[in-house]
Amino acid sequence: MKKQPEEEFKSEQMLNKKLSRRDMLRLTGASGLGLLLGGTGAGGLMAARQSAAKTPAASLDPAADTLPFYGAHQAGIITPAQNFLCFAAFDLTTTKLDDVKKLLKSWTEAAAALTSGSLIGNVNDNPNLPPSDTGEADGLTPSRCTLTFGVGPAFFDGRFGLAPKRPSSLADLPAFTGDSLEPQWCGGDLCVQACADDLQVAFHAIRNLARIARGTAVLRWTQEGFQRTAGADPKGATPRNLLGFKDGTGNPDATDDAEMRKVVWTSSSDGPAWMNGGTYMAVRRVRLRIEVWDRSTLSDQETTFGRHRHSGAPIGATDEFAELKLDAADASGKPVIPPDSHSALAHGDGTIKMLRRSYSYSSGMDLKTGQLDAGLLFISFQKDLLKQFVSIQQRLSKNDRLNEYMVHTGSAVFACFPGVREGGYIGEALLG
């Protein structure tokens, strides 16, 4: 808005007037900013502003911040979790398989550009045409961006003649005790998990993939998520969820190839050949009853999780990664770790594992209740949904102490394709 003449006169007076120490302290909040400005007058303030405007940004090295898109497996699965997530589920609006192939080929080309920090397409400088890239990530590094693609059970419903190729374990999850699922957070024909160390980079990826899909697929639901950043936690400790407890301590070792073949990656003997090298994703949107949790005692919180909040160690231990001794008892014979605690039930006998890669979310305030709509976008990868995710979740849904403080509002499963070879496209083994 243009300043009025009187306002312009006052602004000019302010700039020409030598500021007293009291004026400067009032303007800077006495925070020490005055020491950085190099003077107490308006001239010093203006000089500092000009100097800051001329200071070049830190040099950016895209190569040091890039994860490969092509490979035997899709990135974003065993990749160390980035700081931010943008998850999107899509519904196909076409009934032609050729349209789906065209979309996935276009997505492949775009994904290779997005994960390398390049602009999509080659129409970004013509003033007479809409740019092929929306531009908000122009000049940013790739920020370790990964894009992971999958198809849901509905993809095999007969529209595309692919019903015989549906993996037997790829089906909507059964109802679990305590579920309160809302349709706007469930299902999808296709999914894209965009992760990056910069939220704008991740958002840019989903925005552009949705733009490319126009006329073939539409967004069904989206959810952004976050973890603590590397800057906030340079030691790279296990991230904490919004209840204050470490989340992911019991994960299998993602750097152990043999363990990943056992837990995550499917082989030709596990199902259809097109899934060889792929995996199955379970997604659950879990709203946390933060206001109730915040009124519970620390002792109650720790027995609910079966772990100490500060260290993440099992109750009775001091090391976060100490073995869960579920048979240990105190002097009275009472189990040290409650058998209905979250850790005990999730662990079971230790033979069934899955790789968790979850993010916290905050979607503002629930206007109906006045409470925060915040929680966890739970994401896990496993080679068999029924034997791994479903069996664990059935135990948790029936007896977990944590159920008092959470409700599952969203649910979806997807078959994540094997990796993409250069010259190929996402889902090529399935679509041919």
pLDDT of 158 over the 70 cut: yes
Q: What is the pLDDT of residues 382-413, one digit of tens each?
A: 999 999 999 999 999 999 999 999 999 999 99
pTM equals: 0.86
pLDDT band for position 14 (50/70/90)? very low
pLDDT, position 62? 61
> Could you state, in order of their start, the residue ranges of all structural domains in the chain?
5-54, 81-431
Strand 355-356 versus strand 406-416 pairing type:
unpaired
Residues 6+ apart with CB under 8 A from 225: 84, 85, 86, 87, 358, 359, 360, 361, 377
When pLDDT is averaged across residues 210-223 and rounded to a whole number, the result is 98
Residues 6+ apart with CB under 8 A from 155: 92, 162, 189, 190
* Closest-CA residue to 426 (of 166, 144, 75): 75
When pLDDT is averaged across residues 244-270 and rounded to a whole number, the result is 96
Strand 84-92 versus strand 372-382 pairing type:
unpaired
pLDDT of 32 over the 80 cut: no
Q: What are the tokens at 431?
A: 């679509």
